[in-house]
Each structure stands twice: as C-alpha cells, then as structure tokens.
C-alpha cells in the first residue's frame, strides 16, 4: 500500500511539473505570449482530461501540487508587493482600489443571485476581478471550500477575459482622452492580473507602466486583509451551529512576511536585480504546476452547464468596472 501511494504521489507531481514546463515553453512563442503559462497550464490539463480522462494513479501527487505548490507560490508572491512604495506614494490609490474591489465582488455576487448562477464560482470571479486574478482566486478558494474544478474554471475565465481586455486597452489608448499617467492608473485599477496591466499599460510608456503597476499592487495589498476578515466572519457565522469552520490561512501570513522582507530587508536593489526576476519566474512556475491539478478536474460538459451564466456575469462586471474607472480617472480627481 505504501509503495503504491508513493508511486502515485510522484507520478502526480511529475505530471504537474511536465505540463507546467510545456506551458512555460509555449508561453515564449509568438501568440502564446499573450495567453501566459498559467492559462496554458489549465488549457493543456483540461484538454488532457477530456481526451485521456483523469490520471487516477497520480491523484495523491496532483492533490499535493494543487494545494502546497499553490500556497508556496502565494507566499513568494508577497515579494512583488512593495509596502513602502504603496504606503508612501500610492496611499491615495488604496481607497480607490478598495472601492473597485468591493464593486467587483458585490456586483458579481448580486447578479449571480439575481440570475441564479453558481454562487461559489461567482464569488471567486468577483474576487478575481476585484483584486488580482488567479492569485486572489487561489487564496480565497480554500476559504469558501470551492471545488478544484470551480477554481480552475474561474482562473481560466479570468485569464481569457483579462487577456482580451488587455489587448483591447492597447487598441483604445490612442483614441482615449487620457494622459499617459491617467491611462496607467486606468489599467491598474480595472484589469485583472499584473500581467494584463503590464501588457495594457506598455503603450503609454514607462510612466504609465510604473503607475499602472502601483495601482494594481494597491489592489494586491487588500488581498490578505480581506481574506482574513472573510475567514473570521465565516467562522463566527457558522462555527457555533455547524462543523464547517475553516482553517486559519497561515500561508497568507507568509505572504505578509515576504512582503515585509522584500520591502524592508532586501530593498529596492533586490527588486531591480536578476534574483528578483528569477524568483518571479519560480513563483509563476509554481502557480502553473498548481493549475495543472485544478485543470485536470474540469469536466467541460459539467462546466458548460454551471459556468455559462457566470462567464456572462464576469464579462458584464468587467466592462462596468472598466467604464466606471475610466470616467473616474478622466474626471481628474485621481491623478
């Protein structure tokens, strides 16, 4: 029994790493660069599941990868968050970012209830839209006890729509009435992922890119407080009557610790060094490995039934958020 367990354990991890490695290679090619390794990992894993079925012999390793590789990646993701820059230069964006986050979450949840869409997937999409895409979905997923296929589908939809919108922003830039700095803020407060913000803000130049990433990191800043508040609220609400209390998300404390280390111990020199770039690649790779485990749990027939309403809601909320933030920035009150 022990030998079988270890065999399946390493088989599952090997499958996850192999598919993630293929995704990384594909993501360097023209065209695939726009999709990114995370989305490619999910797409390849989903395709494998539909063609060959779920690799049952590797279940133990796949479950380990989707849980622990994911949490390790989120901890390392904290290095991207420069607390000093945000608190000194971006404090005025923090309030705006919080309003954007709350708008994304509550509008998505409201429409989901009104249209009778899948509640957990809708909540994940609202969180991903409001905060920081895949990383936020991954962090919240265990807190709401979402299934792996719900997590994978939510990440895939966010990645797809965010890429399309990022490309759309680059096309709209020359027709907009925004300055480069205003354009950067617009991308940072309205797009889903850091990669989408970088893609969209690049046409505005270095200033647009810098303030765009600053505005986006302000949304990342709210990830941990909102996770912890939700966990406390959920346990207080359900703990006295049921056995559905959730474990404290210790990996988010690791996120905070890494943010402090990156900001105050390693400093700006590290942020601009090759080592930071390497760690960023490692973080993305670990996330990609975790996404494989999620993607292999996706049954497209079931997803189509559950996700078509939520995808429409995601598109609608993303457009509303984009239009609202555009006019807020255009008003001149933010920049």
Between residues 288 and 209, the one the model is more confident about = 288
- 61, 182 Cβ separation under 8 angstroms: no
Q: What is the mean pLDDT of residues 205-210?
A: 77
Q: What is the mean pLDDT of residues 313-327?
A: 94
Mean pLDDT for the chain? Answer: 82
Q: Whose structure tokens read 């990156």?
A: 262
Burial (Cβ within 10 Å: 0-12, 13-18, ≥19) of residue 272: exposed
Q: Residue 322 and residue 153: Cα distance in Å, rounded? A: 22
For residue range 236-257, what is the model confidence (pLDDT) as tens digits?
776 544 445 555 567 778 888 8
Instruction: Determine the pLDDT at residue 122.
Output: 92
pTM: 0.73
Alpha-helix runs per DSSP H in 133-273: 134-140, 148-172, 180-190, 194-201, 206-221, 223-238, 250-260, 267-271
């Amino acid at each position: 029994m022990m030998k079988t367990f270890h065999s399946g354990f390493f088989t599952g991890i090997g499958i996850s790493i192999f598919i993630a490695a293929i995704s990384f290679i594909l993501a360097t090619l023209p065209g695939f660069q726009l999709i990114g390794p995370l989305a490619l990992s999910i797409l390849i894993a989903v395709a494998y599941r539909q063609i060959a079925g779920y690799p049952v012999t590797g279940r133990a390793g796949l479950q380990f990868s989707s849980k622990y590789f994911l949490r390790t990646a989120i901890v390392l993701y904290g290095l991207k968050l420069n607390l000093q820059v945000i608190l000194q230069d971006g404090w005025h964006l923090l309030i705006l970012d919080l309003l954007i986050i709350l708008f994304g979450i509550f509008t998505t949840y409201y429409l989901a209830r009104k249209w009778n869409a899948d509640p957990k997937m809708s909540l994940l999409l609202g969180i991903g839209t409001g905060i920081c895409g895949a990383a936020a979905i991954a962090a919240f997923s265990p807190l709401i006890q979402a299934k792996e296929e719900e997590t994978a589908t939510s990440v895939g939809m966010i990645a797809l729509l965010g890429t399309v919108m990022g490309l759309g922003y680059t096309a709209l830039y020359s027709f907009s009435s925004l300055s480069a700095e205003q354009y950067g803020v617009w991308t940072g407060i309205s797009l889903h992922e850091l990669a989408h913000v970088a893609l969209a803000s690049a046409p505005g130049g270095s200033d647009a890119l810098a303030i765009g990433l600053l505005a986006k990191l302000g949304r990342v800043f709210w990830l941990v407080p909102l996770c912890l508040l939700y966990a406390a609220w959920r346990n207080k609400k359900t703990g006295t009557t049921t056995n559905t209390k959730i474990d404290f998300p210790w990996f988010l404390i690791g996120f905070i610790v890494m943010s402090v280390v990156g900001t105050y111990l390693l400093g700006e020199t590290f942020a601009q060094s090759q080592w930071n770039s390497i760690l960023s690649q490692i973080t993305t790779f670990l996330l990609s490995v975790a996404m494989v485990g999620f993607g292999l749990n996706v049954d497209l027939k079931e997803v189509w039934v559950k996700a078509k309403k939520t995808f429409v809601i995601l598109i609608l909320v993303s457009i509303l958020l984009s239009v609202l933030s555009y006019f807020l920035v255009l008003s001149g009150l933010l920049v």
